[in-house]
Protein backbone atom coordinates (compact mmCIF):
# COMPACT_ATOMS: atom_id res chain seq x y z
CA UNK A 1 0.00 0.00 0.00
CA UNK A 2 1.38 3.39 -1.01
CA UNK A 3 1.66 6.38 1.33
CA UNK A 4 -1.00 8.24 -0.61
CA UNK A 5 -3.42 5.38 0.15
CA UNK A 6 -2.88 5.89 3.88
CA UNK A 7 -3.56 9.60 3.37
CA UNK A 8 -6.89 8.84 1.66
CA UNK A 9 -7.87 6.42 4.45
CA UNK A 10 -6.97 9.01 7.08
CA UNK A 11 -9.08 11.65 5.37
CA UNK A 12 -12.01 9.24 5.11
CA UNK A 13 -11.73 8.34 8.79
CA UNK A 14 -11.65 12.01 9.71
CA UNK A 15 -14.77 12.74 7.65
CA UNK A 16 -16.52 9.71 9.17
CA UNK A 17 -15.56 10.83 12.66
CA UNK A 18 -16.77 14.35 11.91
CA UNK A 19 -20.08 12.95 10.66
CA UNK A 20 -20.52 10.93 13.86
CA UNK A 21 -19.79 14.02 15.97
CA UNK A 22 -22.35 16.13 14.10
CA UNK A 23 -24.95 13.35 14.38
CA UNK A 24 -24.23 12.94 18.11
CA UNK A 25 -24.53 16.67 18.75
CA UNK A 26 -27.75 16.87 16.72
CA UNK A 27 -29.26 13.89 18.50
CA UNK A 28 -28.28 15.37 21.87
CA UNK A 29 -29.84 18.73 20.98
CA UNK A 30 -33.03 16.95 19.87
CA UNK A 31 -33.22 15.09 23.18
CA UNK A 32 -32.66 18.36 25.03
CA UNK A 33 -35.53 19.96 23.12
CA UNK A 34 -37.65 16.90 23.90
CA UNK A 35 -36.83 17.25 27.60
CA UNK A 36 -37.72 20.96 27.58
CA UNK A 37 -41.01 20.18 25.79
CA UNK A 38 -41.75 17.47 28.37
CA UNK A 39 -41.38 20.04 31.16
CA UNK A 40 -43.81 22.27 29.28
CA UNK A 41 -46.21 19.32 28.91
CA UNK A 42 -45.95 18.60 32.65
CA UNK A 43 -47.03 22.17 33.41
CA UNK A 44 -49.66 22.69 30.72
CA UNK A 45 -51.31 19.50 29.42
CA UNK A 46 -54.79 19.24 30.87
CA UNK A 47 -55.12 15.49 31.56
CA UNK A 48 -52.81 13.11 33.49
CA UNK A 49 -53.01 10.57 30.64
CA UNK A 50 -51.95 13.16 28.07
CA UNK A 51 -49.14 14.40 30.29
CA UNK A 52 -47.67 10.90 30.77
CA UNK A 53 -47.98 10.09 27.06
CA UNK A 54 -46.22 13.29 25.94
CA UNK A 55 -43.43 13.02 28.52
CA UNK A 56 -42.72 9.39 27.57
CA UNK A 57 -42.63 9.97 23.81
CA UNK A 58 -40.78 13.30 23.97
CA UNK A 59 -37.93 11.69 25.88
CA UNK A 60 -37.76 8.38 23.97
CA UNK A 61 -38.52 9.28 20.34
CA UNK A 62 -37.99 13.05 20.18
CA UNK A 63 -37.42 13.00 16.42
CA UNK A 64 -41.13 12.17 16.00
CA UNK A 65 -42.62 13.55 19.20
CA UNK A 66 -41.12 17.06 19.16
CA UNK A 67 -42.67 18.10 15.81
CA UNK A 68 -45.95 16.41 16.83
CA UNK A 69 -45.97 18.28 20.15
CA UNK A 70 -45.37 21.62 18.45
CA UNK A 71 -48.37 20.98 16.18
CA UNK A 72 -50.81 19.13 18.46
CA UNK A 73 -49.55 19.41 22.03
CA UNK A 74 -50.57 22.88 23.12
CA UNK A 75 -53.52 23.32 25.45
CA UNK A 76 -53.78 27.09 25.11
CA UNK A 77 -54.59 29.07 21.98
CA UNK A 78 -51.83 31.70 22.01
CA UNK A 79 -53.04 35.08 20.83
CA UNK A 80 -56.71 34.14 20.97
CA UNK A 81 -56.68 34.29 24.77
CA UNK A 82 -55.19 37.79 24.81
CA UNK A 83 -57.50 38.89 21.99
CA UNK A 84 -60.48 37.49 23.88
CA UNK A 85 -59.45 39.29 27.04
CA UNK A 86 -59.06 42.58 25.14
CA UNK A 87 -62.29 41.85 23.34
CA UNK A 88 -64.09 41.25 26.62
CA UNK A 89 -63.11 44.73 27.74
CA UNK A 90 -64.29 46.20 24.41
CA UNK A 91 -67.55 44.24 24.53
CA UNK A 92 -68.15 45.24 28.13
CA UNK A 93 -69.75 48.48 27.00
CA UNK A 94 -71.96 46.60 24.55
CA UNK A 95 -73.03 44.12 27.22
CA UNK A 96 -73.73 46.93 29.68
CA UNK A 97 -75.93 48.61 27.08
CA UNK A 98 -77.88 45.39 26.55
CA UNK A 99 -78.33 44.63 30.24
CA UNK A 100 -81.12 47.18 30.96
CA UNK A 101 -83.04 46.05 27.86
CA UNK A 102 -82.74 42.39 28.80
CA UNK A 103 -83.60 42.89 32.48
CA UNK A 104 -87.31 42.35 31.90
CA UNK A 105 -86.52 38.92 30.43
CA UNK A 106 -84.40 37.69 33.35
CA UNK A 107 -85.62 34.32 34.53
CA UNK A 108 -86.26 34.47 38.27
CA UNK A 109 -85.19 31.16 39.74
CA UNK A 110 -87.02 30.17 42.89
CA UNK A 111 -85.14 27.94 45.27
CA UNK A 112 -86.71 24.71 46.37
CA UNK A 113 -85.95 21.83 48.70
CA UNK A 114 -83.92 20.16 45.92
CA UNK A 115 -81.50 23.11 45.59
CA UNK A 116 -82.86 24.34 42.25
CA UNK A 117 -81.47 27.86 42.64
CA UNK A 118 -77.94 26.68 43.30
CA UNK A 119 -77.94 24.38 40.28
CA UNK A 120 -79.04 27.14 37.90
CA UNK A 121 -76.67 29.67 39.50
CA UNK A 122 -73.69 27.41 38.79
CA UNK A 123 -74.61 27.27 35.09
CA UNK A 124 -75.00 31.05 34.90
CA UNK A 125 -71.58 31.53 36.46
CA UNK A 126 -70.04 29.12 33.94
CA UNK A 127 -71.65 30.97 31.03
CA UNK A 128 -71.22 34.44 32.50
CA UNK A 129 -74.72 35.02 31.19
CA UNK A 130 -78.17 34.73 32.78
CA UNK A 131 -81.13 32.59 31.79
CA UNK A 132 -83.55 34.67 29.73
CA UNK A 133 -87.23 33.87 29.40
CA UNK A 134 -89.58 34.70 26.56
CA UNK A 135 -88.09 32.18 24.12
CA UNK A 136 -89.64 29.64 21.81
CA UNK A 137 -87.60 26.47 21.26
CA UNK A 138 -88.04 23.90 18.50
CA UNK A 139 -86.10 20.63 18.45
CA UNK A 140 -84.92 19.63 14.95
CA UNK A 141 -84.21 15.91 15.01
CA UNK A 142 -82.54 15.29 11.65
CA UNK A 143 -80.96 16.93 8.63
CA UNK A 144 -84.20 17.40 6.68
CA UNK A 145 -85.86 19.24 9.56
CA UNK A 146 -82.72 21.26 10.33
CA UNK A 147 -81.86 22.53 6.87
CA UNK A 148 -85.49 23.08 5.94
CA UNK A 149 -85.86 25.32 9.00
CA UNK A 150 -82.55 27.15 8.43
CA UNK A 151 -83.27 27.83 4.75
CA UNK A 152 -86.75 29.15 5.56
CA UNK A 153 -85.23 31.45 8.18
CA UNK A 154 -82.57 32.74 5.78
CA UNK A 155 -85.23 33.46 3.15
CA UNK A 156 -87.13 35.59 5.70
CA UNK A 157 -84.07 37.67 6.69
CA UNK A 158 -84.48 41.43 6.30
CA UNK A 159 -81.26 42.93 7.69
CA UNK A 160 -78.50 40.36 8.15
CA UNK A 161 -77.59 36.69 8.40
CA UNK A 162 -74.75 35.34 10.57
CA UNK A 163 -73.66 31.82 9.65
CA UNK A 164 -70.85 29.70 11.07
CA UNK A 165 -70.01 26.03 10.39
CA UNK A 166 -67.08 23.71 11.00
CA UNK A 167 -67.58 21.66 7.82
CA UNK A 168 -69.17 22.80 4.55
CA UNK A 169 -69.25 20.47 1.53
CA UNK A 170 -69.72 21.47 -2.08
CA UNK A 171 -72.48 18.90 -2.52
CA UNK A 172 -76.23 19.15 -3.04
CA UNK A 173 -77.07 20.64 0.37
CA UNK A 174 -73.95 22.83 0.28
CA UNK A 175 -74.99 24.30 -3.06
CA UNK A 176 -78.52 24.86 -1.76
CA UNK A 177 -77.04 26.85 1.12
CA UNK A 178 -74.91 28.84 -1.33
CA UNK A 179 -77.97 29.65 -3.46
CA UNK A 180 -80.02 30.85 -0.46
CA UNK A 181 -77.20 33.06 0.83
CA UNK A 182 -76.41 34.48 -2.61
CA UNK A 183 -80.05 35.34 -3.18
CA UNK A 184 -80.33 37.23 0.12
CA UNK A 185 -77.06 39.06 -0.51
CA UNK A 186 -78.35 40.14 -3.92
CA UNK A 187 -81.41 41.60 -2.16
CA UNK A 188 -79.20 43.81 0.01
CA UNK A 189 -79.24 41.64 3.13
CA UNK A 190 -75.82 41.55 4.82
CA UNK A 191 -74.47 38.01 5.07
CA UNK A 192 -71.43 37.10 7.22
CA UNK A 193 -70.12 33.55 6.82
CA UNK A 194 -67.40 32.14 9.10
CA UNK A 195 -65.89 28.70 8.41
CA UNK A 196 -63.06 26.56 9.78
CA UNK A 197 -60.25 26.22 7.23
CA UNK A 198 -59.34 22.66 8.29
CA UNK A 199 -62.92 21.44 8.51
CA UNK A 200 -63.52 22.96 5.06
CA UNK A 201 -60.18 21.92 3.56
CA UNK A 202 -61.98 20.11 0.71
CA UNK A 203 -64.23 23.08 -0.07
CA UNK A 204 -63.17 24.32 -3.54
CA UNK A 205 -62.03 27.90 -3.95
CA UNK A 206 -64.73 28.39 -6.58
CA UNK A 207 -67.43 27.88 -3.92
CA UNK A 208 -65.94 30.62 -1.75
CA UNK A 209 -65.31 32.93 -4.69
CA UNK A 210 -68.89 32.60 -5.97
CA UNK A 211 -70.29 33.54 -2.56
CA UNK A 212 -67.94 36.50 -2.24
CA UNK A 213 -68.80 37.63 -5.77
CA UNK A 214 -72.48 37.50 -4.75
CA UNK A 215 -71.76 39.90 -1.86
CA UNK A 216 -71.38 37.41 1.01
CA UNK A 217 -68.66 38.32 3.54
CA UNK A 218 -67.01 34.89 3.87
CA UNK A 219 -63.94 34.43 6.07
CA UNK A 220 -61.94 31.53 7.58
CA UNK A 221 -61.60 31.39 11.35
CA UNK A 222 -57.78 31.78 11.06
CA UNK A 223 -56.58 29.34 13.71
CA UNK A 224 -53.00 29.88 12.48
CA UNK A 225 -53.20 33.65 12.83
CA UNK A 226 -50.33 35.09 14.88
CA UNK A 227 -46.62 34.23 14.95
CA UNK A 228 -47.05 31.62 17.68
CA UNK A 229 -49.77 29.70 15.83
CA UNK A 230 -48.19 29.12 12.40
CA UNK A 231 -47.82 25.35 12.69
CA UNK A 232 -50.51 24.31 15.14
CA UNK A 233 -53.62 22.40 14.04
CA UNK A 234 -55.44 22.31 17.37
CA UNK A 235 -58.24 24.64 18.39
CA UNK A 236 -60.54 24.04 15.47
CA UNK A 237 -63.75 26.08 15.55
CA UNK A 238 -66.58 23.55 15.75
CA UNK A 239 -69.47 25.98 16.22
CA UNK A 240 -72.56 25.52 14.05
CA UNK A 241 -74.55 28.74 14.36
CA UNK A 242 -77.04 30.65 12.24
CA UNK A 243 -78.59 33.94 13.38
CA UNK A 244 -81.18 35.95 11.43
CA UNK A 245 -81.74 39.62 12.32
CA UNK A 246 -80.75 39.02 15.96
CA UNK A 247 -84.14 37.45 16.78
CA UNK A 248 -84.03 33.87 15.42
CA UNK A 249 -81.13 31.47 15.79
CA UNK A 250 -80.12 27.87 15.13
CA UNK A 251 -77.47 25.91 17.03
CA UNK A 252 -76.61 22.22 17.26
CA UNK A 253 -74.55 19.43 15.78
CA UNK A 254 -75.22 19.55 12.03
CA UNK A 255 -72.50 20.48 9.58
CA UNK A 256 -73.35 21.22 5.95
CA UNK A 257 -73.17 17.93 4.06
CA UNK A 258 -75.34 15.41 2.22
CA UNK A 259 -74.46 12.74 4.78
CA UNK A 260 -76.90 14.40 7.19
CA UNK A 261 -79.74 13.80 4.72
CA UNK A 262 -78.92 10.20 3.82
CA UNK A 263 -77.57 11.13 0.38
CA UNK A 264 -73.93 10.16 0.92
CA UNK A 265 -73.06 6.58 -0.11
CA UNK A 266 -70.39 6.24 2.56
CA UNK A 267 -72.30 7.83 5.48
CA UNK A 268 -75.95 7.05 4.83
CA UNK A 269 -78.25 7.89 7.71
CA UNK A 270 -75.80 10.13 9.60
CA UNK A 271 -78.04 11.76 12.21
CA UNK A 272 -77.56 14.74 14.47
CA UNK A 273 -79.70 17.23 16.37
CA UNK A 274 -80.21 20.95 16.01
CA UNK A 275 -82.38 23.53 17.77
CA UNK A 276 -84.20 26.62 16.61
CA UNK A 277 -84.49 29.42 19.17
CA UNK A 278 -86.70 32.48 18.81
CA UNK A 279 -86.44 35.18 21.45
CA UNK A 280 -84.03 37.16 23.65
CA UNK A 281 -81.51 34.33 24.17
CA UNK A 282 -80.56 34.52 20.49
CA UNK A 283 -78.43 37.50 21.52
CA UNK A 284 -76.13 35.00 23.26
CA UNK A 285 -75.57 33.18 19.96
CA UNK A 286 -74.98 36.50 18.26
CA UNK A 287 -72.43 37.54 20.87
CA UNK A 288 -70.55 34.25 20.41
CA UNK A 289 -70.41 34.78 16.65
CA UNK A 290 -69.30 38.39 17.09
CA UNK A 291 -66.34 37.34 19.25
CA UNK A 292 -65.17 34.77 16.68
CA UNK A 293 -65.68 37.19 13.78
CA UNK A 294 -63.64 39.85 15.56
CA UNK A 295 -60.77 37.39 16.04
CA UNK A 296 -60.84 36.31 12.39
CA UNK A 297 -61.22 39.74 10.77
CA UNK A 298 -60.64 42.53 13.34
CA UNK A 299 -64.01 43.88 12.20
CA UNK A 300 -66.79 45.16 14.42
CA UNK A 301 -70.23 44.37 13.05
CA UNK A 302 -73.25 46.66 13.34
CA UNK A 303 -75.92 44.28 14.64
CA UNK A 304 -79.30 44.45 16.34
CA UNK A 305 -79.16 44.15 20.12
CA UNK A 306 -82.82 44.73 20.98
CA UNK A 307 -84.22 41.64 22.74
CA UNK A 308 -87.61 40.59 21.47
CA UNK A 309 -89.85 37.94 23.07
CA UNK A 310 -91.38 35.10 21.09
CA UNK A 311 -95.14 35.66 20.69
CA UNK A 312 -96.57 32.48 22.22
CA UNK A 313 -93.86 30.92 24.38
CA UNK A 314 -91.91 31.65 27.54
CA UNK A 315 -89.09 29.08 27.71
CA UNK A 316 -86.00 30.10 29.76
CA UNK A 317 -82.80 29.59 27.72
CA UNK A 318 -79.10 30.16 28.42
CA UNK A 319 -76.40 30.10 25.74
CA UNK A 320 -73.12 28.56 26.94
CA UNK A 321 -70.25 29.11 24.48
CA UNK A 322 -66.90 27.53 25.30
CA UNK A 323 -63.38 27.75 23.93
CA UNK A 324 -59.63 27.69 24.64
CA UNK A 325 -59.74 31.13 26.27
CA UNK A 326 -61.88 29.80 29.13
CA UNK A 327 -60.19 29.62 32.52
CA UNK A 328 -61.82 26.22 33.21
CA UNK A 329 -63.04 23.26 31.13
CA UNK A 330 -66.43 24.89 30.63
CA UNK A 331 -68.31 22.22 28.70
CA UNK A 332 -66.98 19.27 30.69
CA UNK A 333 -68.03 21.00 33.91
CA UNK A 334 -71.43 21.76 32.39
CA UNK A 335 -71.97 18.12 31.39
CA UNK A 336 -70.86 16.88 34.79
CA UNK A 337 -73.13 19.38 36.54
CA UNK A 338 -76.12 18.37 34.41
CA UNK A 339 -75.48 14.66 35.04
CA UNK A 340 -75.10 15.19 38.79
CA UNK A 341 -78.36 17.18 38.80
CA UNK A 342 -80.36 14.41 37.09
CA UNK A 343 -82.93 12.69 39.30
CA UNK A 344 -84.73 10.24 36.99
CA UNK A 345 -83.07 9.87 33.57
CA UNK A 346 -80.21 11.07 31.34
CA UNK A 347 -80.49 11.13 27.55
CA UNK A 348 -77.33 11.70 25.48
CA UNK A 349 -77.25 11.91 21.68
CA UNK A 350 -73.90 12.40 19.95
CA UNK A 351 -72.18 11.21 16.76
CA UNK A 352 -68.92 11.03 18.75
CA UNK A 353 -69.34 9.72 22.27
CA UNK A 354 -65.83 10.27 23.65
CA UNK A 355 -66.39 11.43 27.25
CA UNK A 356 -63.51 12.58 29.42
CA UNK A 357 -62.82 11.03 32.80
CA UNK A 358 -64.95 13.56 34.66
CA UNK A 359 -68.05 12.80 32.57
CA UNK A 360 -67.52 9.04 32.91
CA UNK A 361 -67.23 9.41 36.68
CA UNK A 362 -70.41 11.50 36.77
CA UNK A 363 -72.29 8.82 34.80
CA UNK A 364 -71.01 6.12 37.15
CA UNK A 365 -72.24 8.08 40.16
CA UNK A 366 -75.59 8.68 38.43
CA UNK A 367 -75.96 4.92 37.98
CA UNK A 368 -75.25 4.40 41.67
CA UNK A 369 -77.99 6.92 42.45
CA UNK A 370 -80.45 4.89 40.38
CA UNK A 371 -80.68 7.24 37.39
CA UNK A 372 -81.51 5.57 34.05
CA UNK A 373 -79.38 6.54 31.06
CA UNK A 374 -79.92 6.37 27.30
CA UNK A 375 -77.19 7.03 24.72
CA UNK A 376 -77.39 7.40 20.96
CA UNK A 377 -74.03 7.42 19.21
CA UNK A 378 -72.44 6.28 15.96
CA UNK A 379 -69.80 3.67 15.22
CA UNK A 380 -68.68 3.30 11.59
CA UNK A 381 -71.91 3.03 9.58
CA UNK A 382 -74.06 1.73 12.43
CA UNK A 383 -76.16 3.81 14.77
CA UNK A 384 -76.11 2.24 18.23
CA UNK A 385 -78.45 2.73 21.13
CA UNK A 386 -77.26 2.02 24.62
CA UNK A 387 -80.03 1.79 27.22
CA UNK A 388 -78.58 1.66 30.71
CA UNK A 389 -80.82 0.94 33.64
CA UNK A 390 -79.50 1.14 37.18
CA UNK A 391 -77.34 -1.98 37.45
CA UNK A 392 -74.57 -3.19 39.74
CA UNK A 393 -71.95 -2.92 36.97
CA UNK A 394 -71.09 0.01 34.67
CA UNK A 395 -70.33 -2.35 31.79
CA UNK A 396 -73.72 -4.11 31.71
CA UNK A 397 -75.50 -2.31 28.88
CA UNK A 398 -77.78 -3.42 26.11
CA UNK A 399 -76.67 -2.47 22.60
CA UNK A 400 -79.02 -2.43 19.67
CA UNK A 401 -77.91 -1.79 16.09
Determine how β-strand 372-379 pairs with β-strand 345-349: parallel
376-397 confidence digits (pLDDT tens): 655 444 444 444 444 333 333 3
By the 8 A CB rule, do 30 and 62 touch? yes
Nearest alpha carbon to residue 281 among 100, 395, 136 = 136
H-type helices in 103-258, by residue range?
116-127, 143-155, 172-186, 205-213
pLDDT in tens, 315-354: 999 998 887 667 778 888 888 999 988 888 888 887 777 7
CATH of the domain at 125: 3.30.870.10
Are both 85 and 208 inside the same structural domain? yes
Is residue 93 located within the same domain as residue 200? yes
Looking at the structure, do residues 305 and 334 belong to the same domain, yes or no? no
At residue 387, the 3 state secondary structure works out as strand
Residues 8 and 108 both lie in one domain: no
Contact at 8 Å (CB) between 232 and 74? yes
Q: What is the per-residue pLDDT for 129?
A: 80
* Domain tally, the chain: 3
The reply to whether 261 and 170 lie within a common domain is yes
Q: Which domain holds residue 40?
A: 3-72
305 and 341 housed in the same domain: no
Q: Are residues 251 and 306 both part of a single domain?
A: yes
275 and 202: one domain? Answer: yes
Q: How far apart are CA 227 and CA 141, in angstroms?
A: 42
Does 88 map to a domain? Answer: yes
Last residue of a domain, one of 294, 317, 340: 317
Summarize pLDDT for 227-266 with one digit per residue, the tens: 554 555 566 788 999 999 999 999 999 999 999 998 877 7
Whether residues 258 and 380 fall in one domain:
no
Length reported for the chain = 401
Q: Which of 166-175, 251-260, 364-373 has the lowest mean pLDDT?
A: 364-373
Q: What is the pTM of this model?
A: 0.76
Report the share of the chain in percent with pLDDT over 70: 73
Q: Is the pLDDT of residue 121 over 90?
A: no
Amino acid sequence: MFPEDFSILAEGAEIYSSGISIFTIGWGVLHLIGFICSIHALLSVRTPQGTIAWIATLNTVPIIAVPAYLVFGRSKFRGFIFARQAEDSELKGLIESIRPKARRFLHQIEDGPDGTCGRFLAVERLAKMPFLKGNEVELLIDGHATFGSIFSGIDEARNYVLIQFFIVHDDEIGRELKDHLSKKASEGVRVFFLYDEIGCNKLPETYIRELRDAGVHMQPFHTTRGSGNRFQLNFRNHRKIVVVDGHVGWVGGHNVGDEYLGRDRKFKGWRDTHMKITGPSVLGLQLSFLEDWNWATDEKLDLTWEPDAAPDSDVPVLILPSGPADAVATMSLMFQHAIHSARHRIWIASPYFVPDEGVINALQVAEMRGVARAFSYRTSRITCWCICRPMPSWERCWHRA
